[in-house]
Amino acid sequence: MAGRHKELTAEDGKSCPNKKTMNKLTIALQKSGRLHEDSVKLLKECGIDISNGLNKLKIEAENFPLEVFFFRDDDIPQYVEEGVADIGIVGENVLVEKQSEVTVVEPLGFGKCRLSLAVPRQADYTGINWLNGKRIATSYKNLLQQYLNSQQIQAEIHEISGSVEIAPGIGLADAICDLVSSGSTLFANGLKEAEIIFKSEAVLIAHRELSAEKQHLLNKLLFRIKAVKKSKHNKYILLNAPNEKLDVICRILPGMKSPTILPLAEPGWSSVHSVVHEDKFWEIIEQLKAEGAQGILVVPIEKMIV
Ligand code: PRT
Ligand code: ZN
């Protein structure tokens, strides 16, 4: 239908009889906690004008048809499944534990952690069989049960909602299964990591049956998210090279299509511009220096559209 996928603006929402959500996408973000700041930052990097939402339940974006709801992270999968919000940002650990029926749209690269089994530091842990017949405290009973089943371990799961790490110290459990990032909480509580059972990061999720209009808005948002993500993994590099070395230097630098070469005012020299992925960054710099590149500048990229 002509106009069905026309560009929608926040103004459309204001003049609409069902102003609430008809031509707007609604997104659920964590109200406060470890994912809040990075989630808000991501939307801002996507050029979406929102305040940080502290002490607010809901805010509207100024320049994109998006309404932001702030919830506890545990509630986000269910709210998206039920369509209270169209999309949301939540840790995969919560999503999988809640067994919610939503679509995982895109991993977001922040909120990285692992769900691990940990045992007292002095325990003679020699392998997973050590856990047979033991009591394990966790807030992730589904993920833990699945893992124990897969390893054919019979253990007693004690579900607790917070401060899981203190359970062995107070005699409530022999081991724990909890989220770990730096490992300092385990260390401070006299525990050691025994097995990693799940690796997690924040993901963008969506309701399974979005209307065509909302899907169109989600596609627009996703396009921006991918450009922001890509830019974070790449750097723009500028260097000066003697002309006789240009061939070899261009072979080292892949670029988005191919490197840009501009002549310098000094005869016999050129400036070479390209984009380098962070994985190969230092290796490439070393090769460039070895081939006679000089004045190497490395600049962050704000958005990258390929
Ligand atoms: O209030 P609300 O219910 O919304 O928040 P919450 O308190 O349940 O969750 P929050 O804000 O702590 O975490 C939100 C999400 O961040 C989690 O679901 C994970 O996806 C992700 N995340 C990443 C983490 C961690 N890293 C993390 N380290 N969540 C929790 N932790 C905790 C962990 O439970 C342990 O207590 O940090 C401690 C371990 O950290 P290290 O660095 O000492 O190993
Ligand atoms: Zn929570």
What CA–CA distance (Å, rounded) separates 40 from 281?
A: 29
Q: Which residue has the tokens 């909480």?
A: 185
Centre of ligand 1 to C-alpha 111, Å, is 8
> In which order are the strands placed within the sheet that holds 135-138?
156-159, 135-138, 175-180, 113-120, 191-200
Query: Any idea how long the chain is?
Result: 306
Q: Give how far Cα 164 sits from Cα of 26, 92, 256, Å.
A: 33, 19, 47
> Within 10 Å of residue 32's Cβ, how many Cβ atoms?
13
pLDDT digits (tens, 9 = 90+) for 45-104: 999 999 876 778 899 998 999 999 999 999 999 999 999 999 999 999 999 999 999 999
- CA dist 113 and 211 (Å) reads 33
3-state SS string for 281-304: HHHHHHHHHHCCCEEEEEEECCCC
Q: Whose CA is nearest to atom 31 of ligand 1?
A: 179
Rounded CA separation 304/226 (Å): 8
Retrieve residue 102's tokens.
């939503």
Q: 137 vs 45, 116, 125, CA distance in Å?
A: 39, 12, 17
Angle of helix 36-45 relative to helix 212-232, nearest 10 degrees, comes to 100
Residue of minimum CA distance from atom 11 in ligand 1: 33
Beta partners for residue 300, in sequence order: 235
- List the residue whose alpha carbon is closest to atom 29 of ligand 1: 179
- How much distance in Å is there from the Cα of 224 to the middle of ligand 1? 27
Provide the mean pLDDT of the chain.
91
Q: Given the DSSP bridges, would you call strands 58-60 and 294-300 parallel, antiparallel or unpaired?
A: unpaired
Q: What is the mean pLDDT of residues 123-147?
A: 98
As for ligand 1, residues whose beta carbon falls within 6 Å of it are: 30, 33-35, 72-74, 91, 93-94, 111, 113, 178-185, 200
Mean pLDDT in residue range 126-133: 97
Q: Which atom of ligand 1 is nearest to the CA of 187?
A: 43
pLDDT class of 224 with cuts at 50, 70, 90: very high
Residue 147 pLDDT > 70, yes or no? yes
User: Does the CA dihedral 207-107-48-90 come out positive or negative?
Assistant: positive
Closest CA to 115 of 150, 91, 89: 91
What pLDDT is stored for residue 5 in this prediction?
Answer: 35
User: Residues 6 or more apart from 212 whose CB is under 8 A from it?
Assistant: 4, 5
Pick from 48-52, 109-113, 235-239: least confident: 48-52
Distance CA 16, CA 14 (A): 6
pLDDT tens per residue across span 240-253? 999 999 999 999 98
Of 1, 20, 23, the residue nearest 10 (C-alpha): 23
Of 81, 83, 41, 34, residue with least CA distance to 225: 41
First to last CA, the chain: 29
Q: Provide the token pair at 271.
A: 């400036």
The model carries a pTM of 0.88
For ligand 1, atom 30, name the residue with the nearest CA: 179
Q: Whose CA is nearest to atom 21 of ligand 1?
A: 111
The stretch 190-213 carries a mean pLDDT of 98
Cα 171 to Cα 187: distance, rounded to the nearest angstrom = 18
Please identify, by atom number, the ligand 1 atom nearest to the C-alpha of residue 202. Answer: 20
Ligand 1 atom closest to the Cα of residue 164 is 36
Residue 43: closest CA among 19, 32, 59, 55: 59
Nearest ligand atom owner, CA of 111: 1
Give the Å distance between the CA of 43 and the centre of ligand 2. 21
Alpha carbon of 24 to ligand 2 centroid (Å): 27
Sign of CA dihedral 30, 32, 35, 40: positive
The two tokens of residue 245 are 């070395």
Beta bridge mates, 179: 115
